Amino acid sequence: MKDSFSVLLVDDSADDRLFVRRALRKNPRFMVVGELGDGEAAIAYLAGEGEFSNREKFPYPDVVLLDLKMPRKTGYEVLEWLQSQRHEKICVVVLSGSFLPGDITRSQQLGANAYFQKEALAEGQAAMIADIEKLVEDQDLTVC
């Protein structure tokens, strides 16, 4: 079992990234290695292309926390891209403001390991991060 997990946070809302980052800081097992505001940048990061080609500076994450509704490329498009790639194993968790059954189903069909609705209150965020930690612990990242 790994002691810590690197996290790539992808959300077009700077406020939402701030709230998630604060919640993650309270759990020493998660280390944010990158924050991006759109799906196109997320794909470039995961592919190690362009400005993200230096893996020491931009390490491949263990966990991607992914919003669905973003500019340039959506979270769905990132999930579709991931399915088409041979890549290191990662755990992809969708964090969305939507709780529509269709969004949850589509995310899971496209390979998301979990789907959480964004939490506004600190207590809810802490519980969500604990649930994500359990998910990542329960899944060997070599098969996630």
Judged by phi (left if over 0) then psi (alpha if -120 to 50, else beta), residue 18 lies in: alpha
Q: How many residues does the chain have?
A: 144
Contact 91, 143 (CB under 8 A): no
Q: What is the pLDDT of residue 138?
A: 79
Q: What is the pLDDT of residues 27-58, one digit of tens each?
A: 989 999 999 999 999 999 999 999 999 999 99
Domains and CATH numbers, the chain: 5-138 (3.40.50.2300)
pTM of this prediction exceeds 0.85: yes
- Write down the mean pLDDT value for the chain: 90
Tokens of 2: 């790994």
Predicted confidence (pLDDT) at residue 88 exceeds the cutoff of 80:
no
Alpha carbon 75 to chain centroid, angstroms? 10
How far is residue 39 from each of residues 64, 74, 75, 91, measured CA to CA in Å? 12, 5, 6, 16
